[in-house]
Amino acid sequence: MRWSLTLHVAVVLLLSAFAAGVVAVVLWLLLGRPLLPVAGALKPGEVYDGIKIALATVAGAGGVVALVVAYRRQHLNEVSEEREHGKYFADRFGAAADQLGADRPAVRMAGAYAMARLADEWLQERQTCIDVLCGYLRMPHAPDPPVDEPGLTTWQREREIRKTVLRLIGTHLRDDSPESWQGYDLDFTGAVLDEADFRGARFTGGDIIFIKTLFVGHDRNQVIFDEVEFADGSYVYFRLAEFRSGTVRFDRAVFSGGWVTFDSTRFTGARVNFRDAAFSAGEVRFEDAEFSDGLVDFAGSAFTGTSMSFGEHRLESLHVTAPPARFTGGTVDLSRTATFTHPPRFGLHTAPEGLLLPPGTHMSHLP
């Protein structure tokens, strides 16, 4: 509730008078509670002193009023500046969003850069700006290039814009980024990713959602999570995603905490590399994942502390059971791991075809 100027001044004067009274009483007590002289006829000097005190009191009250007025003026100026500042950012947000929705590819490309720059500067609404960029990637996009030349040109131009958006996001997730987006939510639900570079990113918090995302590569183009760190506090969902073709790399990735799930994910043709990855803490789950084609390669990886599960998972409190991973044609190669002191859990009695374990390791040795 905003006070009127008169009420504001009255309250301040009353508080000042109260404070002066408290100070006077404290001083009187500290001086030993001296007796006040009995008033008699006022002498001329005492009259002049009284006049001086009255004038000083009036001047003090005037000063208090002036301070209140100055404070109110300063406050109104700050509110006005803040409102103008917010309007400036809101106008930029609207312009960038309009560019992202434009028909011309060059304008959409400019809109991607404008939205990323706004996210850097507008801390209060940074998550909103990031959501818009992720929302652009969730828009429908054909995973495979069309055969007709006009359609192919349109597809390639749109693909370049999406690569740019992904590059902007990936750059802001690295430690050397001038403005870090680490810890913010990223929602790629249903997106088509055929070339993305998250190399060196750190997921330190927030929800990173790749639910129903389609990973599909063309030629030698790849989706790269090399040297990514999945740290404590992050929740990364690859649930119901599909790795269809191309190569997706998690080489030298560090799973040092957090929760990463590939449950109900389909590996139907892509090569997914976890080479030299370090699984030292946190949870990684592959329950109900389907390995029907392609290769998941853990060569050189070290399993020293992460809880990884390919087996059945029960949540008794919710009466929910997730079935174990299904090996129906793909290959999960754990045979060349560097350290296997904390191996994944499979919940199987015999190793199915396509599951390759380190030499001398049998299913009975695993949890």
> What pLDDT was estimated at residue 95?
95
CA distance readout (Å), 284 to 111, 256, 259, 298: 36, 11, 6, 14
Distance (Å, rounded) from C-alpha 247 to C-alpha 79?
53
Q: Is 342 in the same domain as 263?
A: yes
Q: For residue 38, is it within any domain?
A: no
Q: Is 168 in the same domain as 68?
A: yes
> What pLDDT was estimated at residue 321?
80
Buried b (16+ CB within 10 A) or exposed e, 179-195: eebbebebbbbbbbbbb
Name residues whose C-beta falls within 8 Å of residue 360's C-beta, 6 or more positions apart in sequence.
none
**194 contacts 166 by C-beta, under 8 angstroms:** no
> What pLDDT was estimated at residue 363?
74
Total domains in the chain come to 2
Q: Is 140 in the same domain as 283?
A: no
Q: For residue 35, is it within any domain?
A: no
Q: For residue 34, is it within any domain?
A: no
> What pLDDT was estimated at residue 309?
92
Q: Is 166 in the same domain as 204?
A: no
Which stretches of the chain drop beneath a pLDDT of 70? Answer: 1-13, 15-85, 219-221, 315-320, 364-365, 367
DSSP at 339:
B
Token output for 351: 């190793």
Q: Which residues pair with 186 in a beta bridge?
A: 208
Q: Is 237 in the same domain as 357?
A: yes
Q: Is 295 in the same domain as 340?
A: yes
Distance (Å, rounded) from C-alpha 168 to C-alpha 131?
13
Q: Is 250 in the same domain as 266?
A: yes
Cα-Cα-Cα-Cα dihedral of 305, 259, 347, 354, to 10°?
Answer: -90
Q: For residue 13, is it within any domain?
A: no
Domain end: 166, 181, 196, which one? 181
Range of the domain at 313: 183-367
Distance (Å, rounded) from C-alpha 367 to C-alpha 360?
15
pLDDT tens digits for range 187-239: 999 999 988 999 999 999 899 999 999 999 876 668 999 999 999 899 999 99
Q: Is 162 in the same domain as 204?
A: no
pLDDT tens digits for range 298-336: 999 999 999 999 988 776 665 668 788 999 999 999 999
DSSP state string for 292-310: EEEEEE-TT-EESS-EEE-
pTM for the full model?
0.78
Nearest to 142 by CA among 133, 151, 134: 151
Q: For residue 18, is it within any domain?
A: no
Q: Is 206 in the same domain as 195?
A: yes
Q: Is 136 in the same domain as 227?
A: no
Q: Is 217 in the same domain as 306?
A: yes
Q: Is 254 in the same domain as 200?
A: yes
Domain end: 181, 208, 229, which one? 181
Domain end: 134, 150, 181, which one? 181
Q: For residue 268, is it within any domain?
A: yes
Q: For residue 255, is it within any domain?
A: yes
DSSP at 169:
H
Name residues whose C-beta falls within 8 Å of residue 298's C-beta, 6 or more positions apart in sequence.
274, 275, 277, 332, 333, 334, 336, 337
What number of CA atoms fall less than 13 Å from residue 53's CA on the CB side?
6
Q: For residue 56, is it within any domain?
A: no
> What pLDDT was estimated at residue 86?
74
> What pLDDT was estimated at residue 271?
92
DSSP state string for 75-143: HHHHHHHHHHHHHHHHHHHHHHHHHHT-SSHHHHHHHHHHHHHHHHH-GGGHHHHHHHHHHHHTS---S
